[in-house]
Amino acid sequence: MKHFCGFAPLVLALAISSFIQSHGQTASPPDSNHGLEHASLAAPLTVEQAVDQALQSNTEIRAAVRRLSLAQLKTATAGSLDDPMLMVRDWDTPLRKPWDLNQAQLMFSVQQTFVSKQKRDLRTKVAGDNVEVAAADLETLRQEVSASVRETCATLMRSADEMRLHDQQTTVLNEALSAALAEYTTGKVPQADVLRAQMALTRLNEHLVELEEERDTASAQLNSLMGRSPEDAVEITGGYRAPSTVPTIDDLERLAIKHRPELTALRKQIAKSDDQSQQVRLAMKPDLTVAAGYMLMPTGSNFRSAYMAELTMNLPSLNRSRHDGEAKQADAATDVARAELDERTTSVFLEIRQAQIQVQSAQKRAKLYRDTLLPQAEAAFKAITAAYQNNRGEFMNLIDSQNLLLDVRMDYFKALSAVDAGTAQLERAIGAPLSDANTTASTVKRTGK
């Protein structure tokens, strides 16, 4: 958080020791009531619990599940024959006596078109391809929702940590301002120091508005992902997740080829296009239609009852240009699917590399803050505090040192959150947990350091 101001002179010296110690301890939930009172109404969720709830209740996932169920139901009828046809025909009815059916010839018949078993099996196979594509689409959506939930949870955890630091700073600054005002009345503190403390408190309140906006936006997004009302209370507990090592780019790419559902869906689409191409070519084989019926002859005929048998066959060879064109279209569709697979694979590899860079950079920043910048900022703050207590330092230097220390702490939380969010993006890019690449995950405690 930028432009955090320091303490008023007298209270500052007394508060520094407890302030540093409080930042070095494990974080606890904020005690303030600035907009967080509604969070206590909801049971805290871990990140994994939030992911599980989203996978069960997300509205987009539910719609995808129904689409998959529909595709599965279609496989049962894909290889069925067409409905049989019933025909009733009236012949030779006299125009002068249209009601005299005894002079008419009546025929009742049933006909059925028989498609070869090879064609029907191929229809069933295409329907099965559609099921596999729908299943891959569902898995794609599940992974997208899971990654979004993890990123949003990382934002909420960082927001809670920043608010905790904000609460600590506000408490000390209010005490410092009161003491500065008291000292100002006796002439021991210049007016400029009082004005600086007042402005610091105002800027702190301004930053609180930004923190609340970020928290409320993330909460609404998380609720939406979990299929809940956006205004519901939500609280995330636990620590930041950080993989100890990031796999090599070759290992990540191999995992993506195997597990990334979009690539799986495109491979299934290629198989579907191949099956459809075969189906188009099988259309050159004629289908047979068989009909059988009963005929009632007019009165006076030698035989009043007769039967009818009929066999018809379509002739696709006489319409070859159409079927050849459809075959070319099917082949072109297969080529398009292959090109889309190549394009999507290239895009996925780019996503993997970008996510890998993000995670590695965030890990380096977090390590730099933890091992170097935080100890340096605390040491500088202690030194300037000691100098100020012994009347050898300027109040402005004390403010700047405190600003730097708080900025480093905030940036450390941002780095931890970036590691967590980047890990979620990397897992989304490869379509599998990083543990599948022999990467162990550890939990970073949410401390002030």
* Tens digits of residue pLDDT in 396-448: 676 677 778 878 888 899 999 999 999 999 999 999 888 766 543 345 555 44
**Percent over 90 (pLDDT), the chain:** 41
Asked if 262 and 136 count as a contact pair (C-beta separation under 8 A), the reply is yes
Q: Which residue has the higher pLDDT, 392 or 209?
A: 209
What pLDDT was estimated at residue 244? 66
pLDDT at 116 > cutoff 70: yes
User: In the structure encoding, which two tokens stand for residue 367, read together?
Assistant: 């390590």
How far does Cα 187 stand from its chain's mean position? 60
What pLDDT was estimated at residue 21? 39
Planar angle of CA 274, 279, 281, nearest 5 degrees: 100
Maximum distance among all alpha carbons in the chain?
A: 137
What pLDDT was estimated at residue 399? 67
Query: Residue 85: pLDDT band by 50, 70, 90 thresholds?
Result: very high
Average pLDDT estimate for 258-267 = 92
Query: Residue 213: which residues within 8 A CB-CB, separation 6 or more?
Result: none
pLDDT tens sequence across 343-355: 999 999 999 999 9
pLDDT tens sequence across 178-216: 766 776 677 666 777 677 767 777 777 777 888 888 899
97, burial (CB in 10 Å: exposed 0-12, middle 13-18, buried 19+): exposed
How far does Cα 391 stand from its chain's mean position? 57
What are residue 365's phi and psi, to 5 degrees? -65, -45
Please state, in angstroms and rounded to a whole number, the distance separating the CA atoms of residues 387 and 363: 35
Please state, in angstroms and rounded to a whole number, the distance separating the CA atoms of residues 147 and 159: 18
Query: Residue 86: pLDDT band by 50, 70, 90 thresholds?
Result: very high
Angle of helix 9-23 relative to helix 374-389, nearest 10 degrees, comes to: 150
Please state, in angstroms and rounded to a whole number, the distance separating the CA atoms of residues 276 and 268: 12
* Most confident region among 24-38, 243-257, 266-280 by mean pLDDT: 266-280
80, burial (CB in 10 Å: exposed 0-12, middle 13-18, buried 19+): exposed
The residue behind tokens 């209370």 is 233
What pLDDT was estimated at residue 168? 75
Please state, in angstroms and rounded to a whole number, the distance separating the CA atoms of residues 68 and 75: 11
What pLDDT was estimated at residue 267? 92
Asked if 80 and 92 count as a contact pair (C-beta separation under 8 A), the reply is no
Asked if 47 and 237 count as a contact pair (C-beta separation under 8 A), the reply is no
Query: Residue 112: pLDDT band by 50, 70, 90 thresholds?
Result: very high
Average pLDDT estimate for 245-268 = 90
pLDDT tens sequence across 161-170: 888 887 877 7
- Residues in the chain, overall count: 449
CA atoms within 13 A on the CB side of 29: 11
What are residue 5's phi and psi, to 5 degrees? -95, 170
How far does Cα 114 stand from its chain's mean position? 47
Residue in 293, 283, 265 with CA at minimum distance from that of residue 67: 265
pLDDT at 126 > cutoff 80: yes
Among the ranges given (13-22, 72-81, 140-149, 234-243), the one the predictor scored with the smallest mean pLDDT: 13-22
Query: Residue 380: pLDDT band by 50, 70, 90 thresholds?
Result: confident
Query: Residue 41: pLDDT band by 50, 70, 90 thresholds?
Result: low
Query: Residue 304: which residues within 8 A CB-CB, separation 6 or more?
Result: 296, 297
What pLDDT was estimated at residue 179? 64
What pLDDT was estimated at residue 383? 87
Name the amino acid, one letter, at 377. A
pLDDT at 316 > cutoff 60: yes
User: In the structure encoding, which two tokens stand for residue 3, read together?
Assistant: 């432009």
